[in-house]
Amino acid sequence: MGDGEAPRVKNVLRFVLTTVFGLTLATSVPAAPPEPQGAPPVTGPPAVLTPSTATTMKRITDAALASPRAWELLAELCDDIGHRLSGSPGLDEAIAWALARLKAAGHENVRAEPVQVPKWVRGEESLWLESPRRRLSLLGLGGSIGTPPDGVTARVVVVADEAALEARAAEVKGAIVLFNNKMPPHHPEKGPGYGDAVRFRARGPALAANYGAVGVLVRSVTARSLYTPHTGATSTREGPPPIPAAAIPLEDAELLSRLDRRGKKPVVTLRMGASDHGLVPSANVVAELRGGDRPEEIVVISGHLDSWDVGQGAHDDGSGVVMAMASLDLLRALGLTPRRTIRVVLWTNEENGLRGAFGYAEAHAAELASHVAAIEADTGCFEPVGYRVEHRDPATSVEAVALMETLLAPLAPVGATHAELGFSGADLIPLREAGVLLLGHHMDLATYFDFHHTAADTLDKVDPAHLAQNVATMAATAWALAETEALPLRTELAP
């Protein structure tokens, strides 16, 4: 092997020995013979999970399952404040609430870190089918422009995808395009089909505008519906001048599609009072449980504090916010001092800009090299499964999956022992190039997209038992990451 390969092979070998035998080495290896006088000490691979850490993880899990703290916090956030779109009074109130609760819990370095975020206001909106005359349901897409006061009245041209749009290009000029692209049902192995279907919400308006459309309707990105439209961000940064865009429920998408197939040439009037107010002040919220031995090394646990302007943002992402807050509260209440610092970050502006995430990376550029791991919970609150693992280096990502499977073993009582390669979280994207181990808090997503970005995302949809299980998972995992000798993984990378 070449000179460049030898260190890599040694590193892989060290990791495998640590992952497979770390606990055994810490407990069962016979004592080594005395070192000769003057010889350097013999050191083995670092233990991934020591018996002491595993015991503490069980203590954390038991305490989390017995505590009502997380549910109390989520009730305050959802019922007392409600939805929290960037630039809104609701988000400002939520930031002040989080700061007050974290300070009251006695955490260190509690602060708001200023960030500028976009302010988009929905305004009044309506959608009418002209014949047969009936009102349809809609939610304007975040970032969309509004219509003139009298709205836009036009024929609806229904397409399933990009190829269908091109095939009907001659009909699109002056029309409103409906992207009736069906999100497939949740698959027990492949998961939800959100990633593919959501492209029409993001890029559909620009695609249709290229052909001269005057507006866009998008089938809501969900596989099931009880006449509930799902909002979300759309992109207006590239391409032709933007056109108004809204999401409609599956039922209305199918109605318009049936009329179109029967040659009825449906006509609708779309009115949207959406307006853009530029950038306004906001903030990420940060708090810490300072480490003892290595306080300069940081493990982040996080969720995003903003939500869309409908419902209460209970699953997306009030639950993730509360998981992080309650985890830090629990560790402090148990009197635990981790080796590394555990830092809560409650991101602003995840839903329509990621300015909180990029602002954090910029503000903490000097210490990103000391971030050894970061968790984000942003997939609702359901039965926990484990973590999706991501790293800038593909080989290290694979190694990290094995590391996490070892660290998660004590979480068998709550079922959160699985680790797999996958996307970690939107707010963690700016940390990727710094070589941070990124972890997406993963759970059963079979029903998440029933509520996602809708007025139905309310506290009653959250199971208190699931919330406690997820706090147990996050708190115990944060502790394990703060204690293990197997981090930071990025030291395995060549410069």
Asked if pLDDT for residue 352 goes beyond 60, the answer is yes
At 188, the pLDDT band (50, 70, 90 cuts) reads confident
Over residues 424-443, mean pLDDT: 97
Q: CA–CA separation, 35 vs 403, rounded Å?
A: 31
By the 8 A CB rule, do 355 and 337 touch?
Answer: no
- Looking at residue 372, its amino acid is V
Three-class SS of residue 92?
Answer: helix
At 218, the pLDDT band (50, 70, 90 cuts) reads very high
Residues of the chain with CATH 3.50.30.30: 123-273
Asked if pLDDT for residue 229 goes beyond 70, the answer is yes
Asked if pLDDT for residue 38 goes beyond 80, the answer is no
| CA nearest to 426, candidates 364, 312, 347 | 347
| CA nearest to 388, candidates 422, 342, 363 | 422
Q: What pLDDT is recorded for position 40?
A: 42
Q: What pLDDT is recorded for position 10?
A: 34
Over residues 287-315, mean pLDDT: 98
Catalytic residue among 288, 297, 350, 492: 350
Three-class SS of residue 448?
Answer: helix
Cα distances from 334 to residues 56, 110, 130, 321, 459, in angstroms, run 10, 19, 63, 20, 28
Q: What pLDDT is recorded for position 391?
A: 97
Mean pLDDT of the chain: 91
Look up residue 263 and give its two tokens.
């040659």
% pLDDT > 90, the chain: 86
Residues of the chain with CATH 3.40.630.10: 51-118+278-492
CATH architecture of 123-273: 3-Layer(bba) Sandwich (3.50)
Q: Which strands, in side-by-side order, build the sheet including 294-304?
A: 108-121, 275-289, 340-347, 294-304, 371-376, 437-443, 384-390, 418-421
Q: What pLDDT is recorded for position 26?
A: 32
Q: What does the DSSP assignment read for 98-146?
A: HHHHHHHTT-EEEEEEEEEEEEEE---EEEEETTTTEEE--EEPBT---
Asked if pLDDT for residue 356 goes beyond 90, the answer is yes
Q: CA–CA separation, 71 vs 94, rounded Å?
A: 16
Q: What pLDDT is recorded for position 128?
A: 98
Look up residue 211 and give its two tokens.
């052909």
| CA nearest to 274, candidates 135, 128, 86, 120 | 120
350 is catalytic: yes
pLDDT tens digits for 93-143?
A: 999 999 999 999 999 999 999 999 999 999 999 999 999 999 999 999 999
Q: Select the more confidently predicted residue: 428 or 2.
A: 428
Asked if pLDDT for residue 403 goes beyond 60, the answer is yes
Q: CA–CA separation, 443 vs 387, rounded Å?
A: 8
% pLDDT > 70, the chain: 89
**Residue found under tokens 């707010």:** 427
Q: CA–CA separation, 101 vs 219, rounded Å?
A: 39
At 45, the pLDDT band (50, 70, 90 cuts) reads low
Asked if pLDDT for residue 248 goes beyond 50, the answer is yes
Phi/psi for 437 (5° steps) reads -75, 120
Asked if pLDDT for residue 25 goes beyond 60, the answer is no
Q: Select the more confidently predicted residue: 99 or 19.
A: 99
CATH number of 51-118+278-492: 3.40.630.10
- Residue 72: CB partners within 8 Å, gap ≥ 6? none
Q: CA–CA separation, 437 vs 397, rounded Å?
A: 8
